[in-house]
Amino acid sequence: MSDVVTYEVTDGVAWLTINRPEARNALSKAVRDGLWEGTRAFVDDDSAAVLVLTGAGDKAFCAGGDLKEMAETSLEIPPPDFLPQFGRNIDVPKPTIAAVNGVAFAGGFLLAQQCDLVVAAEHARFAVSEVKVGRGSPWAAPLSWLVPPRVALEILLTGDPLDAARAREVGLVNHVVPAAELRERTQALAAGIASNAPLSVAAGKRTAYLSAHHGLAEAYDRAEEIWAPVYRSADAQEGPAAFRDKRAPVWKGR
């Protein structure tokens, strides 16, 4: 990994950290390349069951695109691979969590939005600020599925930030914690997920997104297809056996 993005695994939890605090963890090309490298590393890493995406320092998770770099390169429409968008331009079957340690604006909002879960420090703020600088946010298309449509409209039309408490209130954030506890609390959440049956976790993630793409009847049909191999797996027999024997299950992922 590069100096501006780091990757480390702790007890089955991969931490992908934007390490550019002096620039509010803005998305320079080096950062974007590092995020791609780290995401691919996680997908291929059998030792990591959950990914946590965060930023270094206590000011910013990610303040968005590097506007100075954009001005220098006269960037117009960002290419499809401008940065990894989990579930859109790269498949990430395992769970992802954003640990938001400060502002998550523009591209930073994008990164948090694309994670499956969000844990925010009490001082975190979230904004799709593109309207204030004349840029675009086509990546915000899923926002009205994550939060009520009128909340999504206010976020997109005003560009004004939501504080962490409001973000949790509208469903954008799962947990709000003191800044000093962000890493510990996020690690505990991720470790709890990592301890569960991996096939069931992966199927649960896929099931949760079905209603965003399909009508209810088709979503049910596709969910049956997703879960059938889980029911037939060795892990599906191991869970009840471990309960019967009063021991911790030993998951094989098959």
What are the tens digits of pLDDT across the range 99-113? 999 999 999 999 999
Q: What is the mean pLDDT of the chain?
A: 94
Burial, 172: exposed, middle or buried (Cβ in 10 Å; 0-12, 13-18, 19+)? buried
- Would the pTM count as exceeding 0.75? yes
Burial, 146: exposed, middle or buried (Cβ in 10 Å; 0-12, 13-18, 19+)? middle
Instruction: State the pLDDT at residue 135.
Output: 84
Q: Please determine, for residue 70, whether its predicted confidence score (pLDDT) is greater than 90.
A: no
pLDDT band at 71 (very low <50, low <70, confident <90, very high): low
Q: Centre a 10 Å sphere on the Cβ of residue 76 and count the other Cβ atoms it contains.
A: 7
Q: What is the DSSP string of 138-193?
A: GGGTTHHHHS-HHHHHHHHHH-PPEEHHHHHHTTS-SEEE-GGGHHHHHHHHHHHH
> And the tokens for 245?
């024997």
Give residue-wise pLDDT tens across range 126-178: 999 999 988 889 999 999 999 999 999 999 999 999 999 999 999 999 999 99
Strand partners, 126: 104, 162
Cβ within 8 Å of residue 251, ≥6 positions away? 196, 197, 198, 235, 238
Cβ within 8 Å of residue 74, ≥6 positions away? none
pLDDT band at 119 (very low <50, low <70, confident <90, very high): very high
Q: What percent of the chain lies above the pLDDT cut of 70?
A: 96
Instruction: State the pLDDT at residue 76.
Output: 72
Q: What percent of the chain lies above the pLDDT cut of 90?
A: 88
Give residue-wise pLDDT tens across range 166-214: 999 999 999 999 999 999 999 999 999 999 999 999 999 999 999 999 9
Beta strands in 25-160 (DSSP E): 50-55, 60-62, 96-100, 103-105, 117-121, 125-127
